[in-house]
Amino acid sequence: MLTVLGSPRRACDGVTRRETLKVGALSALGAFGLPQILEGNEARRTGRPGRAKSVILLYLLGGAATQDMIDLKTAGPADVRGEFRPISTNVPGIQICEHLPRMSRWMHKIALVRSLNHRAGCHNTLPSYTGSELLTPDNTTTRDTFPPSMGSVCELLRAEGNRNRAIDRGAELPDYVYMPCYLGWGQAIRRAGPYGGFLGKRFDPLYTEVSPYKAPGVTTSPGNPATVLGEPRLPDSILAPEVTIDRLNTRRTLSQQLEDNLRRAESQTALDSFDRTQRRAFNLLTSNDIRSAFDLDREDPRLRDRYGRTLFGNCALIGRRLVERGVRFINVTWDLFWDRVQINYDAWDTHTRNFHILKNVNLPEFDRSYSALLEDLQARGLLDETLVVVMSEMGRTPRINGNAGRDHWTYCYGMWFAGGGIRGGTVVGESDGQAAYVKDRPVSPGDVCATIYECLGIDPDMPVHDRSGRPVAAAQGGRAIREIVG
């Protein structure tokens, strides 16, 4: 038996391209509920003049202490200002942390936001992916009533465009790829945000899988993380030795017999969606193009060294390779790995030894990979059409706690953009003298999402319809940050 990209599931709102195809086990397919296709309309495919063709979102899970990265407060009291010094960048008047020297040389391409805030609770990842500040019951729940992520909206637009133009793009890559694993995998939970939500599971991303590890002999504990090593991989992307392409094609033909039976019971519209899901699963399994995107052995070893041979660096490099292949929305998460594999207890959730973790692990590794990504995109002529976004779900407290850490804080923190459609060398918003509250120009997660949509040429007010048919603005009412949209 061959399982393609996942396991069979019953889902009332759709069958994802990753979730299911058991070739040779036709009875299992009969258990699926088939989705209703959302009605497409021209208003959704807006054709706005966006400069970015792709987005790479670098997501720092846990809540990065951005006041120790891009908004240092050296005049504050000792228990606020921290241990790091600011350095000048290549843009006069803009300073960032001394432990981000490579990033400082790219400030002419970067737009900083220092006044991001929300009221949706700590570790709530829903706002940063969707723009919605909906309070979730806890931080380990994702629901099909939640609004869709930005990447899922990109998938929706592709699906509607293909259907309206009667194009079968099943053999192509998806428009939304999420690396290195689903959000929260390292803690054995699922966090909300990166999903199709009320659009249906078929608009979830293509999640990669990973087997993270650390260097031999390294001891880890809370506040003492190791570098996370490994490479993302496509799920079930390698055929079992006994399954040849000919045999796979035969089994695919058998599965098509099931479709003939289903046609008697299901509407043709729903079946067409199932067909596309099945074709995409088959093509992802056998496509040389997508396999090659994840084959880092094809890269120059010197380039791999520049990215850093870490899990985050490898994901960033694959992100560039996916941009070259036309993938529209790529997520790379710096995740926390502890409950499954005890490598990094903290990620960016630095309650303990904040400055030790940032100085010795997080900032040097991030600085290397981020700068290599910008340099690589620029060298290939891709940076001006690729939007690179760095953000977390929240920030850290202005006051340093008794464990030399910073705790949760959503009232003021920072993020930044670079590349396609962004006016570099700019700063938007201002925090107060302790980086505690917004002093000027508040920015919401919805505004960040609206800016990303605007750069992609998607109207932030484009309606997406929830499960009751009610139209909801894609960016949840957010407004593009006009100061930085070029």
Residue range 212-266, pLDDT digits in tens: 999 999 999 999 999 999 999 998 644 455 555 565 566 556 556 555 555 444 4
Q: 225 and 245, same structural domain?
A: no
CATH number at residue 228: 3.40.720.10
CB-based contacts of 103: which residues, under 8 Å, 6+ apart? Answer: 96, 110, 367, 370, 371
Domain count, the chain: 2
Q: 321 and 203, same structural domain?
A: yes
Q: What is the radius of gyration, based on Cα positions, of the chain?
A: 22
CA distance 333 to 311: 10
The overall average pLDDT reported for the chain is 85
CA distance 419 to 52: 8
Q: 339 and 382, same structural domain?
A: yes
Residue 109's domain comprises 51-237+296-473
Of 293, 313, 333, which closes a domain? 293
Q: 134 and 119, same structural domain?
A: yes
pLDDT tens digits, one per residue of 370-418 = 999 999 999 999 999 999 999 999 999 999 999 999 999 999 999 999 9
CA distance 153 to 473: 11
pLDDT of residue 183: 97
E strand intervals along 18-174: 22-23, 54-60, 86-88, 95-97, 110-116
Q: 227 and 301, same structural domain?
A: yes
What band does 271 get if pLDDT is binned at 50, 70 and 90?
Answer: very low
CA distance 346 to 228: 12
What is the rounded average pLDDT of the residues 55-69? 98
CA distance 437 to 188: 33
Tell me the residue type at 464: V
Q: 60 and 72, same structural domain?
A: yes
Residue 418 phi, psi dihedral angles, 5° rounding: -155, 155
Q: Would 162 be classed as within a structural domain?
A: yes
Whether residue 35 is predicted with pLDDT greater than 60 in this model: the reply is: no
Whether residue 167 is predicted with pLDDT greater than 50 in this model: the reply is: no
- Do 21 and 352 meet the contact criterion of CB atoms below 8 Å apart? no
- Do 32 and 277 meet the contact criterion of CB atoms below 8 Å apart? no
Q: 221 and 107, same structural domain?
A: yes
Q: 445 and 306, same structural domain?
A: yes
Q: 275 and 313, same structural domain?
A: no
Whether residue 486 is predicted with pLDDT greater than 50 in this model: the reply is: yes
Q: Where are the alpha helices (DSSP H) in 325-444?
A: 354-357, 363-379
Which tokens is 265 given? 């019971």
Query: How far is CA 420 from each of CA 52, 377, 382, rounded to the nearest angstrom?
Result: 5, 11, 8
What is the rounded average pLDDT of the residues 37-56? 61
- Do 315 and 323 meet the contact criterion of CB atoms below 8 Å apart? no
